[in-house]
Homo-oligomer: A and B are copies of this chain.
Amino acid sequence: MAVLEKEIEAVKQCSTHYVLAVNDALNAISGKWKLPIIGCLLFGKQRFKELERNIDKITPRMLSKELKDLEMLGMVKRTVFDTIPVTVEYELTRSGKSLRKVLDAMMEWGVQHRRETMGR
């Protein structure tokens, strides 16, 4: 789709739009827990309790709140199953999954930056 690339080029020319778009991405991953949660879900769908176990030291309150945020942002899909007791599955949306490109870029920068600041 050439239309998307046109838009991306346009945003690059306007510092205001550029910062706004970057901020959208930043909001999607900033805060203490969003990154660990997304990291977990990149491995596949998981239930509430699984996430709670897999993420070190997170409380149900925080997990619940962050998952709700991520759902609002269209990053996570929530599915309820009518079992007894109920079970709930969380998984990344397409947008959520596509964050991997961003996270990879950040990771590569992080690795390189460590080498340059701390020697080796």
Contact = CB atoms under 8 A, between A and B. Distances in A.
A87 interface: no
A108 B117 CA distance: 28
A94 B116 contact: yes
Nearest to A40: B15
Interface in A49-82: 73-74
Q: Chain A interface secondary structure, helix, strand, loop or mixed?
A: helix
Interface in A1-40: 4, 7-8, 11-12, 15, 18-26, 28-30, 35-36, 39
15 contacts: A4-B111, A7-B111, A8-B107, A8-B111, A11-B111, A12-B107, A19-B36, A21-B107, A22-B103, A25-B107, A25-B109, A26-B35, A94-B116, A101-B109, A102-B109
